A = this chain, B = another copy of it.
Amino acid sequence: MRHLDAELSQLKEKLLAMGGAVEKSVEHATQALLLRDLSRFKEVYALEAEINRSHVEVDNACVNLLARQSPMAADLRLIIAVIKINADLERMGDQAVNISHNGEYYLAWPELKPLVDIPIMAERVRVMVRAALDAFVKLDEKQAQLVLECDDEVDQLKQKIFLDLLGVMKQSPENVERGLNLILVARNLERIGDHATNIAEDVIFALNGVDIRHRGIARP
């Protein structure tokens, strides 16, 4: 086994450990909200510190590896993918923190409504994150494609949650704050799904050097 291979597999493990922490963080943030269990937000803040440390470590390891080994082709693409995935994971961690902030406000009030479709959306996003990390571990293009396909469904769920909550907010001025908090949580979840999509795209790039972002470029 080349020395570089050993270093690359160490790097992947480091990134995966970070991915695991991010997954847990998202899980705690959403469960805190769904179960009205404030103690779980503390876990999110503790995990954030861990995620931030890993973020810096992974970046440094990549720069080091590039400098010492001057990797080529597939190895080079993998390291660049790790740099990008690392940034996405760190921002997913930030979104879990944002969910916690919004959730803490929300839980200070009596329950508004059974959270409309937020539990379903949270579950879908959790599956996306897991699948994106899986695609990275196995460098599996099919799995990565599955993640991309989930993104539309998550967007539709968010749209529906927005409309439902707008209706609730209009019923009474008392509902406005809580409705807004939940809308912001739905946005945080959507962004986590977006980052999972970015990770899937980076996996595909690492695999075949094809950049699939912005295909069929003309959005609206």
- Evaluate contact between A67 and B72: CB separation under 8 angstroms: yes
- Name A205's closest neighbour in chain B (CB-CB): B59
Encode contact with B along A207-220: 1 for CB under 8 Å, 0 otherwise: 00001011001111
Report, as a range, how many residues of chain A touch the other chain. 35 or more
Interchain CA distance A105-B62 in the complex, whole Å: 43
Q: Which of A12-20, A113-121, A129-137, A172-180 contacts B (4 or more CB under 8 A)?
A: A172-180
- In the complex, whether A84 has a CB less than 8 A from a CB of chain B is yes
Chain A 162-209 interface residues, beta-carbon cutoff 8 Å to B: 166, 169-171, 173, 176-177, 180, 183-184, 187
- Name A191's closest neighbour in chain B (CB-CB): B191
Chain B residues within an 8 Å CB radius of A72: 67
- Name A64's closest neighbour in chain B (CB-CB): B76
**4 pairs of A and B residues whose beta carbons are closest in the complex:** A70-B70, A170-B173, A52-B214, A169-B176
